Every structure is written in structure tokens, then in C-alpha cells.
A and B are shown apart, each in its own frame.
Chain A
């Protein structure tokens, strides 16, 4: 029993180590950064896909509609992991300059490439989900709005941009925030291939826990990884993810409640 206590003490000591702290913080920052950029781009692509699927119903534009349907259904019905593989194996990445990498706070150009590919693969996947969310919002806009816009001389593009899309987005703010939670969780899929976000960093820390938990003696006795290390490090990761996502889901609930409350 006292054995386990000393092990636990060693594991908890790791959280005080500045190297471990930096890793966890960096991971958290990347998780948030990747998710935020992904969501922003996905909203844009998703809006285009949703508009195409809903309104390109006549003439040759039906081809665009076909494409957007295939895209959405394909990505919604295959696992993200597959697209992470595809992104990292097949996706071409531009060669970033060394100056650009250092400006972002990276030491190597390769990690900028990793970040780029991570965002691309996550965006490919998320924009399909986002398209369906936005379509839900578009369908909630009453037909009368379209007719009213036309009667006022608005063209198709301006009807969408000034009248329909703003209303649609107002409907789906809570759903989009929920998607942010999902995307933060989804970004952990990157840890299967690369170490960049929180989950990957946690995995890396576990594999190196013997050099942080006080059991490392010298290069002939490299110490051991205890089960308490797993609990402490994963516990920290659980806590970070939970705090971020729980506050987001509280925000979702607050917005939903405000909306369902009858207007005063």
C-alpha cells in the first residue's frame, strides 16, 4: 500500500515539472487553435455546400447539387480517422518558409506542415457536418422571406447573403457551438498519427513518464512507468477537455433557454 502511495507521489510530482506543464499547455493551445480554425473554415465551406444542396435545383446547376450531396453523405458516413490518414498521406502541403514557421512559434518547418495537414483533414470532415447543420437552419427560414425579398427586387445572391443566411445562422448558433465541442473532441484523432494536440501530447508524456516520475536513476536504470502515472496524466487531460467542453455546453444550454423563453 505504501508502495502505491510513493508511486502516486512520484506521479503527482510530474504535474509540477515545468516540461510536463509546457507540453500540456501547448497541447491545449493546439487543440483549441486547430478546432477554432477548422470551425471557421467549415462554416464557410459548409454554407456553400448547404446552399448548393438546397437551392441549386434547376438547369446545369443541378450538377453542383449532386456534388454537394455526394460530398456531404460521403464524409458523414465514413470515420474521421480515414480522412486523417488520407490527409496525412495524400494531401499535398505547400512548403512553408522558415520565417513563417518561427513567426508561428515553431522550431521546424515540418511541424507547420503537420498543423496544416491536421487542419485540412479535420476541415474536410467537419464541413460536411456543418453543411447539414446550416441546411437545418436554412429550412427553418419561412418561404415568405424568399418571396418578400424577390418582391423587393433582391437577386438570388443578395437574398441569400442579406436575408436568408443571417436568419439561418441565428437559428443554429447553439448547434454550431455543440459542433465546436465535437470538433475539439475530434481533434484528438490526430494523436493516431502525429503528436500535436492535447491527446497526442498526453500519449507522448505517458511514454516518457519514467523520466519524470522520479524513478529514473541513470541510463542503465531508466526507471519504470507506473499505473499511477497513467491515472495522473490522463486525469489531467480529462480535466482540461472537460473544463473546455463543459463550459461550452453550458453556453449552449444558456442560449437555448434564452431562445425558448417567450419574448417579454
Chain B
């Protein structure tokens, strides 16, 4: 009973395939909307933490340290309970989008900060000498150059975001993990442990593996390139 070799279990899974599709779509929706929020926050906080205003730098530091050093589950739960006990009705997906977006935003901010600090200071000086103001410098000169550096870690964070949607399960979510769990323990569908978890896991794998593959390919490519340019430099100096 419940094993992956049991045909009747597979039949149940197939019969209720809409459940899995639904969970899959909810996970995708949460991750996509969360990603938008995370990117916006990441760019803003990343710019703050590399800026000249000390107050903003401190604020950005606090934001990043707080969200990176506490579990995302605690953040999700806190938001959900705080809203529920103060009488505000919000859907689980909304709570998920906000809390996951804010959590991932802290990681994105660090990625973007690292990208900006990797750009030689000469670029900033050159932009200043050409009369660009700070925002223009960032938008037109610095950020486009960081894209190549920050893309691999950013894609990794995207995969993490998709995996983290699973913590919506704790607040009775509608994501893929929660639907799989409800399916397995459900009254009419229960018992098909093996196939259900296999399908759920496979769907997650299909979302995350291409992303992490892409990230590691890009990273290797970048590394090779930097080795090449270093060799070029050596040849020039020799």
C-alpha cells in the first residue's frame, strides 16, 4: 500500500491530476510575484547599501541581517498570525508573496551589492566627470555591467524562492507541497504516498533543475572568461 509500485495508487494520482496542476500553478504564481517584489527590493536595498548616505547604508544593513538570520518559516508564520489575529483577512498566497518576496529581497540585495562593488571605481569617476548624476550613473553605466556578475547567483536565488514556497504549507497554503500533503492525507485520495510525493518532487525538480544548471553553466563560463582575460593581461605585461 502506498508504494510507487502500486498501480492503483498511480490511478488515483492520475484521476486527481488537477490537484497537482493547481498546486504547481500556485507555486509558480507565488514564486513569480515574489520574484518581482524581491527584485524591486533587492535593487533598492542594494543601491542603498552602496550609496553615500550613512543612514541608508545602516538601514539596508539592518534589513539584510534581520531577514537573512531568521528562518523564512518564522517570517511567514508571523505575518500570517499577526494579520489573522488583528482581524485582517488576506489569502495565503498574498501572505506568501509578501513574506517570500521580502525574504528573497534580502538575498537579492546582497547579490546586487556584491555586483556593484565588483565594478572598478574608475567607472564611477568617469561617469561623474561626464556629468552623470548618481541615479543615471547606476542606471546607465554601473547596473548594466553588473548583470553578468549577478546573474548566476540571482538565478540560484530564484530556485531557492521556488523551493521556499513550500513553507506556505505551515499556514495551510495552496502550494504544491501543501496540495501534495493534503492529497496524501485526504479522505477520498489518501494513502498514495509514494506516487504522490514522487509527482510533487518531480514537478519541483523540473522547475529548479534547469535554473541551477543554467546558473552553474554561466558561472563556469564567467570563470573561464576571467581566467582568459587574466592570461591576456599576463601576455601584455610580459
Contact = CB atoms under 8 A, between A and B. Distances in A.
Interface in A214-245: 225-227, 229-231, 234, 237-238, 241-242, 245
Given A192-B169, A242-B66, A78 B205 contact: yes
B198 to A, nearest CB: 10
A79 B70 contact: no
A203 B77 contact: yes
A72 to B, nearest CB: 10
Contact of A199 (B73, B86, B184): B73
B208 A192 contact: no
Interface in B87-138: none
- Considering residues A78, A191, A237, which has the most beta carbons from chain B within 10 angstroms of its beta carbon? A78
A203 B171 CA distance: 11
B201 A189 contact: no
Contacts of A256: none
Nearest to B216: A132
Contacts of B165: 79
B45 interface: no
Interface residues of B, number: 36
B166 interface: yes
Given A74-B205, A82-B177, A226-B85, A185 B166 contact: no
Interface residues of A: mostly helix, strand, loop or mixed? helix
Contacts of A81: 166-167, 169, 177
B16 interface: no
14 contacts: A73-B209, A78-B201, A78-B204, A82-B197, A82-B201, A85-B184, A185-B70, A192-B167, A226-B85, A227-B82, A227-B86, A234-B78, A242-B65, A249-B65
Interface of B: 65-66, 68-74, 77-78, 81-82, 85-86, 159, 163-167, 169-170, 177, 180-181, 184, 193, 197, 200-201, 204-205, 208-209, 212
Interface of A: 73-74, 76-82, 85-86, 89-90, 181, 184-186, 188-189, 191-192, 199, 202-203, 206, 225-227, 229-231, 234, 237-238, 241-242, 245-246, 249
